[in-house]
Amino acid sequence: MELSVISPLEQPEALRKFIWEAGLRFPEQPDTPLFWTGLSLNDRLIACAAIEVYENDGLLRSVAVAKEYRGKSYGAALLKAAVILARLKKLRSLYLFTENAKDFFEQHGFKPMERTQLPANITSSEQAAQECGIQAHVMYRAVPESPPLFLVLCTGNSCRSQMAHAYLAKYLAGRGSVYSAGVETHGLNPGAVSILMEDGLDITQHTSNHVDEYGHLRFDFILTVCDHARETCPWIPGNALRIHHNFSDPSKVKGSHEEVHSAFLRTREEISSFCRKLAEALNPDDKQSIPQ
DSSP secondary structure of 159-190: SHHHHHHHHHHHHHTTSSEEEEEESS-----H
**d(C-alpha 63, C-alpha 21), whole Å:** 12
Counting Cβ atoms within 10 Å, is residue 68 exposed (0-12), middle (13-18) or buried (19+)? exposed
**d(C-alpha 26, C-alpha 49), whole Å:** 11
Check if the beta carbon of residue 195 is closer than 8 Å to that of residue 160. Answer: no
Q: Is 159 a residue of the active site? A: no
The DSSP call for residue 147 is P
- Of the listed 48, 154, 159, 275, which one is catalytic? 154
- Of the listed 48, 159, 226, 275, which one is catalytic? 226
Check if the beta carbon of residue 50 is closer than 8 Å to that of residue 61. Answer: yes
Sign of CA dihedral 66, 71, 72, 76: positive
SS3 call for 110: coil
Q: Is 132 a residue of the active site? A: no
Q: Is 48 a residue of the active site? A: no
SS3 call for 224: strand
Counting Cβ atoms within 10 Å, is residue 203 exposed (0-12), middle (13-18) or buried (19+)? middle
**76 φψ region: left (φ > 0), alpha (ψ -120 to 50), beta (else):** alpha
Query: Nearest-CA neighbor of 168 among 183, 156, 153?
Result: 153
Q: Which residues have a catalytic role annotated?
A: 154, 226, 233
